[in-house]
Chains A and B, each alone.
Chain A
Amino acid sequence: MNNILELQHLKKYYATQKAVDDISFNISTGSIFGLLGPNGAGKTTLLRMITGIFYPDSGEIILDGKKFDPINDIIKIGYMPEERGLYKKMKIGEQALYLAQLKGLSRAEAMEKIKFWFKRLEMESWWNKKVEDLSKGMSQKLQFVITVLHEPKLIILDEPFSGLDPVNANLIKDEIYGLAQRGSTVIFSTHRMEQVEEICDHIVLMNLGQKILDGTVADVKQQFKENKFSIKLRELPANNMHESFELVDQKGNAFTVKIKESYRSNDVLQFFLQQGVTVEGFNEILPSLNDIFIQLVEGTRAVSRAFQKVGA
């Protein structure tokens, strides 16, 4: 599988902080990628470098096999920043047309694509309305259409679901899957871990300007699992202590156990089966990304970082 985007030792230092400090990772074509990190981790700066808004101080960005050229590659990228907005007084149709033309589409192409997307997301009646007449969710939807309508190879969405009701959020989610299936690559930046778990194939976690985690969602969970299992039994066993595990929690017939090193899950199962109790359920408890996130980020000086000088 080839990579749409390769970042090699990217650095961007501001006067007061190392916003992005030597970050490298690859994103494979057609995947849905999650860029995670607490506030102030440097995500936005990293995304701004990928979209050509900022130049990196050092390091390379390889887009689609070639060195990233901000002026000509802009059409390959669709970026929906977290701080988003539209001209309030401008008519929606004209606005979409204008922004699409700025991307580099011809007027006719832009018109055709806007019509397609407006029809698809049932926005045709909006053409002559102004943005100030739209609700927050509606303008979010419009913003999404504007971001993807030129069918970019790389779509970057910073907190795409904030402010959307569940119906519209699902609508957008389906569109994102659709775009990925048609060959676009999607980069998500968010701190909503349940969305990441649901949508993303591959994640990178940033903190303090550095990459602290990189892998597929499944791999990461495996990496951080604590060998915890939940067991549901029909009746209480006579004995619930065994050298192979540690009882973490018990709620009626349901146990949470932590399997000790050098033992396997089968040992636990065997222990209960030998006692003749009926096992109704046996599941491995994998940590949620939320737990992993908190575990990795908590205690670092992530929050106070913005106010510290480099080298302090």
Chain B
Amino acid sequence: MNKIFLVARREFLTRVQKKTFLLTTILLPLLIFVFYAMIIYFSVKTNDNLHIAIADEANILNGKMNSKDDIAFDVIKNETIASLNTALEQKKYDGYIYIPSTYNLMGKDSLQLKSSKAIGIMTREKIQKRLDDVLEEKRLLSLNISKAQLDSIQHNNNRIKFATISGKTDDNTKAGLSYAVGYISGFLIYIILFIYGTMVMRGVMEEKMNRIAEVIVSSVKPFQLMMGKITGIGAVGLIQFIIWILIVVGLQLLLPLIFPDMLHQMQGQPIQPAGMQAAQAAQAMKDSGGMSELMNSLHQINFTLIIGCFIFYFLGGYLLYSSLFAAVGSAVNEDPQDAQSLLLPITMPIIFAIVIMTKAVNEPNSGLAVFGSLFPLTSPIVMMARIAHGIPEGVTLWELLLSMGLLIVGFLGTTWVAAKIYRTGILMYGKKITWKEMWKWAVRKS
């Protein structure tokens, strides 16, 4: 045990002390964050600052049109198209809408916005929505519906709601969020398996090619060397993830400070069509818009369960696959290209798992999803998709426990097999090794 610790410590320290570790751990998420922040910023921010004149000759708007955000409406009167055109040329306005005195609210005529320059899609939608809302209200009022009736219609949420038998609400936002959480966590585990698995493989290959393997195995058992390497690199992965999570959380708190008006704008956006939320969320929705609805659904997802399971499946999946990666690394000779073909049988189930995962995230209880979440080679990825839907909606408790048990058995199994391959491979030079031979080493009695 002590020697496994010594090996693990070296593996951990040499990696953590490298400059590339600092770069990938701290700089990479920052870069990704900045990248996304830019995308969000530019897509949300419309710096058109349009000034639009509405020549309301039919007096439909009663001189009333709210200016909001960066689109300013000016309701004016007694203008002709010619005078508006000159005003446009003089850059008095960025555009105008001419409502002729003959305009009929119930008619089929549509209004036209003329502008001096092209208007962005987001801005167009905003203008369209605002005008349509106003005109719709006017139309309804003109049909002798009182203002009070209109308000009551608009605030009456009698759409169909979804719930499960356990009594929990299961609205669309939550389902969508479960989908996203399941997908992201499944994908993260997929990436982890590859990144740290290949890191283990490279480490083993390095030891073999440097010819230090024999020096070391005269002091420690090959199994201790392999386990030390796996635990050391696993610790690097864990630390890296904790740092990433801290950075993400920290940046999220920072976000409103960097873009103070962004959240406000996001709330102004029609993120969700109104009336999709659970009854108790309706009031909150009315107060502060889509974000709070999202937050509300976030609270409904059992994050303790998900994070707990994520860590378990992260470790289980990593241990299961990293020993296989180590076995492949030990079999590779001078030519790193050999690794490619030997890796195929390992990467296949991982890719297969991703395919099942994308299915399971939609139908957490389908036969394929159940199989995928129990089979140890795919369960770390597939189970995350199911667990995001919660217990017992996505996965029953006994299925979860069985899957965890099978994963533990699975990783003990792969470690045992891999250790036998590793022990032989690490001291074998010069020969190109095939899976058939590796299998022989694995089943041979020690």
Q: B211 at the A/B interface (Cβ < 8 Å)?
A: yes
Chain B residue nearest in CB terms to A101? B6
B218 contact from A52, A88, A104, Cβ within 8 A: A52
- Report the separation of the CA atoms of residues A299 and B295 in the bound assembly, to the nearest whole angstrom: 85
Given that A89-B14, A98-B6 are contacting pairs, would A83 and B211 also be in contact in the complex, using a CB cutoff of 8 Å? yes
Name the A residues within 8 Å of B213 (CB-CB): 85
Name the B residues within 8 Å of A74 (CB-CB): 218-219
A219 to chain B, nearest CB (A): 31
Within 8 A of B (CB), among A56-100: 70-71, 74, 77, 79-81, 83-90, 98-99
Contact digits for B1-37, partner A, Cβ 8 Å, 1 yes 0 no: 0010011001000100000000000000000000000
A30 to chain B, nearest CB (A): 22
Q: A171 at the A/B interface (Cβ < 8 Å)?
A: no
B283 to chain A, nearest CB (A): 61
Within 8 A of A (CB), among B159-186: none
Q: A51 at the A/B interface (Cβ < 8 Å)?
A: yes
Given that A86-B210, A88-B210 are contacting pairs, would A102 and B216 also be in contact in the complex, using a CB cutoff of 8 Å? yes
Within 8 A of B (CB), among A95-121: 98-99, 101-104
- Report the separation of the CA atoms of residues A98 and B11 in the bound assembly, to the nearest whole angstrom: 11
Q: How many residues of B contact A (CB 8 A)?
A: 21
Given that A83-B429, A98-B6 are contacting pairs, would A55 and B214 also be in contact in the complex, using a CB cutoff of 8 Å? no
Within 8 A of A (CB), among B205-220: 206, 210-220
B88 to chain A, nearest CB (A): 68
Say whether A81 contacts B429, CB under 8 Å.
no
Name the A residues within 8 Å of B446 (CB-CB): 55
Chain A residue nearest in CB terms to B440? A15
Name the B residues within 8 Å of A79 (CB-CB): 215, 218
Q: B427 at the A/B interface (Cβ < 8 Å)?
A: yes
Chain A residue nearest in CB terms to B9? A98
Q: A247 at the A/B interface (Cβ < 8 Å)?
A: no
B214 contact from A52, A81, A88, A99, Cβ within 8 A: A81
Say whether A53 contacts B427, CB under 8 Å.
yes
Say whether A102 contacts B212, CB under 8 Å.
no
B329 to chain A, nearest CB (A): 15
Name the B residues within 8 Å of A85 (CB-CB): 210-213, 215
Chain B residue nearest in CB terms to A50? B218
Say whether A81 contacts B221, CB under 8 Å.
no
Name the A residues within 8 Å of B217 (CB-CB): 53
Given that A90-B14, A98-B10 are contacting pairs, would A71 and B221 also be in contact in the complex, using a CB cutoff of 8 Å? yes
Say whether A81 contacts B210, CB under 8 Å.
no
Say whether A102 contacts B3, CB under 8 Å.
yes
Say whether B220 contacts A87, CB under 8 Å.
no
Name the B residues within 8 Å of A48 (CB-CB): 427
Say whether A51 contacts B218, CB under 8 Å.
yes
Given that A53-B427, A55-B446, A90-B14 are contacting pairs, would A102 and B214 also be in contact in the complex, using a CB cutoff of 8 Å? no
B155 to chain A, nearest CB (A): 67
Within 8 A of B (CB), among A24-56: 48, 51-53, 55
Name the B residues within 8 Å of A103 (CB-CB): 219
A153 to chain B, nearest CB (A): 15
- Report the separation of the CA atoms of residues A86 and B6 in the bound assembly, to the nearest whole angstrom: 16
Name the B residues within 8 Å of A84 (CB-CB): 211-212, 214-215
A99 contact from B210, B211, B216, B221, Cβ within 8 A: B216
Within 8 A of B (CB), among A184-232: none
Within 8 A of A (CB), among B191-245: 206, 210-221
B370 to chain A, nearest CB (A): 43
B345 to chain A, nearest CB (A): 23
A102 contact from B7, B14, B211, B429, Cβ within 8 A: B7
Name the A residues within 8 Å of B429 (CB-CB): 83
A74 to chain B, nearest CB (A): 6
Chain B residue nearest in CB terms to A156? B218
- Report the separation of the CA atoms of residues A84 and B211 in the bound assembly, to the nearest whole angstrom: 5
- Report the separation of the CA atoms of residues A82 and B211 in the bound assembly, to the nearest whole angstrom: 9
Name the A residues within 8 Å of B219 (CB-CB): 74, 99, 102-104
- Report the separation of the CA atoms of residues A152 and B3 in the bound assembly, to the nearest whole angstrom: 19
Chain A residue nearest in CB terms to B217? A53
A156 to chain B, nearest CB (A): 9
A55 to chain B, nearest CB (A): 7
Name the A residues within 8 Å of B206 (CB-CB): 87
Knowing that A53-B217, A83-B214, A86-B210 are A-B contacts, what are 6 other residue pairs whose CB atoms are under 8 Å apart, sorted by A's residue number? A71-B221, A81-B211, A99-B215, A99-B219, A102-B3, A104-B219
* B interface with A by C-beta (< 8 Å): 3, 6-7, 10, 14, 206, 210-221, 427, 429, 446
Q: Can you give 15 contacting A-B residue pairs, CB < 8 Å?
A: A53-B217, A53-B218, A74-B218, A79-B218, A81-B211, A81-B214, A81-B218, A84-B212, A85-B213, A87-B212, A88-B210, A102-B6, A102-B216, A103-B219, A143-B215
The 9 closest A-B pairs by CB, nearest first: A85-B211, A85-B210, A79-B218, A102-B219, A81-B214, A85-B212, A83-B211, A51-B218, A103-B219
